[in-house]
Chains A and B, each alone.
Chain A
Amino acid sequence: MAREPAAAAAIAILLLSACAAAQTEVPARIDHPTTESRAALAKAVSAALNAPVTLADDALTRDSVLIVEKRRTDRDLGRPERFQLVKAGRDCILVHEGTGKRTPLASTTCVPVVP
């Protein structure tokens, strides 16, 4: 019985920590793109979509949103795929808006996007 308050306190601390971490997650952009970071980004996008992808060398270096399109028809009723880069602590995480899938990007440094 005596352990219950301690456990509850530990859980509360964990939750608060998680909450704090979540609160520090901010939209970000890649600040020093390298061959490795570009490859990591392309790999993450390709894995999320299960298809090859072509990206610009400066993808996600100007803002936090990456818009990716399958080849369009000329009267296309669909929508593009959207990804957002967020910075959580030191991690740069790519979030696929359609599925919520989160992929930490290896070899990548990023900085918060100033609104």
Chain B
Amino acid sequence: MAAHRFLLLAVMALAGCGGGGSSSSSSTATGWVAGVFPPSASFAGQCSMLAENNYLRSWTNENYLWFDEVVDRNPALSTTPAYFDLLKTTATTASGNPKDRFHFTFDTAAWNAFSQSGVSPGYGAELIVVASTPPRRIVVAYTEPGSPATGASLARGAEILTVDGVDAVNNNTSSGVDMLNAGLFPDHAGETHTFTVRDIGGTTRTVSMQSANVTETPVQNVITNLPGQVGYLLFNDHIATAETELVSAINTLKAASITDLVLDIRYNGGGFLDIAGELAYMIAGSSAVGRTFEQTVFNSKIGAFPPSTFPTITLGFSLPEGQPLPTLNLPRVFVLTGSSTCSASESIINSLRGIGVTVIQVGSTTCGKPYGFFPQDNCGTTYFSIMFRGVNAVGFGDYADGFSPQNTVGAAGTQVPGCSVGDDFTHALGDPAEARLAAALNYRSTSTCPAPSGFAPPSGARTSVRATLASPGAAVKSRAPWRENRLLRPQ
């Protein structure tokens, strides 16, 4: 682990300062020579358009995962935002989607801000946009305990009809959408907004909520007594406090001697990768000891980290470092997924499959992000450009189209045994009658599925991260930039 961290620092330093250039051109050079890349460090911190473009061009050549698929263009001919947009591969996946859907920027001052683990301004309601264009449909997926949302008795399945008097279903004007965004996604604690909501039973009511710095509870609804000694665990975010909550949950499930686990990660967009490793180990137990959890692979100029094995002890996120992790020692796991299931969450699936644990997937196709980046700051902008991908113990990491239950209709990703089932907002998460959980329990008993109803993005529909935000089934959260940018736009 220590060697891994050293290599991580070395790679970050390399990414930050440049290196590996093939020319000694001066930092003031303005002439563009195709195929010749001065070190990015020679342009860093110089904030003319040309210098910043040259920085990005060289940095991309040094660090971008698919640097050899980027067309080399004259940096003098585009604005910096336009030039950055061109510094990526244009290749497509097997299903016709862009290979790189994760290429974007963020304001550095905002990116570098810190927050207490799991704390962010809002109401504590996780919103899902089932339909992003009018007639829009915005639904509460779950709420955080003790939040303004629970105080207003908002619960899963409630639909947002108006925000501060603006029709959330039909309004498609710029000013209206701005008001929707401002009300749904407050930037600060202490903002009061008024909503018309329709609860599950059909009752329509008006609620006012004041935003607060809500503390997220990343692990909820731990259930030990589903039929057949099956346990259930809702895991929503790979934040530091999840380490404590996951260990507690696994101890509870272990004490109940469960024989199968349903892991609900339908709304989990990822986070700390080592948290994923800890959970995967706690599920698999002895079969994972000493095995590769994931190997981080960079471009051919940088190479790869040594394979990272499944952690068997706590890693010090929120528990003291070095405590043995509890284990369930299960040979298989049922995972409930959706299009928000992304990145580190997908690593749980991929890493367990890599060591022979049977993963049965129930839900919709996952987002398809086996990639990651070390964000790069330059001239007040933080650039996100893919630097690495993760592969499992058998070297597999090609799931850019996501993981799909095997009976998925339409363009599917990497097929996994299980059932395509749409989200069911009419039942609580963890309710055995909720469609995805019910299908998992039924599949466990009968190896059969209901008629497929999960969402699979049509071929070519995944044009960018920001377009994904507006996809049906996308979760709305305010934690990551690809979620933080406003979901609702005039269509």
Complex interface bits, B265-278 against A, C-beta within 8 A gives 1, otherwise 0 = 00001111110000
Contact B240 A75 (CB under 8 A): no
Of residues 24 to 70 in A, which have CB atoms within 8 Å of B's CB atoms?
45-46, 49, 51-59, 65-70
Q: Given A73-B373, A74-B343, A76-B273 in contact, is the A55-B113 Cβ separation under 8 Å?
A: no
Known: A73-B375, A73-B480. A79 touches B8 (CB 8 A): no
Within 8 Å CB of A89, what residues of B?
none
Q: Does residue A90 face the partner (Cβ distance < 8 Å to B)? A: no
Residue of B nearest to A69 (CB): B117
The interface residues of chain A lying within 8 Å CB-to-CB of B482 are: 74
Contact A67 B318 (CB under 8 A): yes
Structural contact, A55 and B343, CB atoms closer than 8 A = no
User: What is the interface residue range for chain A against chain B?
Assistant: 20 to 34
Q: In the assembled complex, which residues on chain A have CB atoms less than 8 Å from the CB atom of B318?
A: 65, 67
Q: Is the CB of A75 within 8 A of B344?
A: yes
At the interface, yes or no: A3 with Cβ under 8 Å from chain B? no
Contacts of B121 in A (CB 8 A): 54
> In the complex, A12 Cα to B465 Cα: how many Å?
65
Q: Is the CB of B480 within 8 A of A67?
A: no
Does B115 belong to the interface (CB within 8 Å)? yes
**For window 54-110 of chain A, which residues contact chain B by CB distance below 8 Å?**
54-59, 65-82
The answer on a CB contact under 8 Å between A75 and B114 is no
A26–B251 Cα gap in the complex (Å)? Answer: 29
- In the assembled complex, which residues on chain B have CB atoms less than 8 Å from the CB atom of A51? 112-114
- Can you list 29 residue pairs at the A/B interface with Cβ under 8 Å? A45-B114, A46-B114, A51-B112, A53-B113, A53-B115, A53-B116, A54-B116, A54-B120, A65-B318, A66-B116, A68-B116, A69-B117, A69-B239, A71-B112, A72-B271, A73-B375, A73-B480, A74-B342, A75-B369, A75-B371, A75-B372, A76-B271, A76-B344, A77-B274, A79-B272, A79-B317, A80-B117, A80-B317, A82-B316
Residues of A participating in the B interface, judged by any CB pair closer than 8 Å: 45-46, 49, 51-59, 65-82
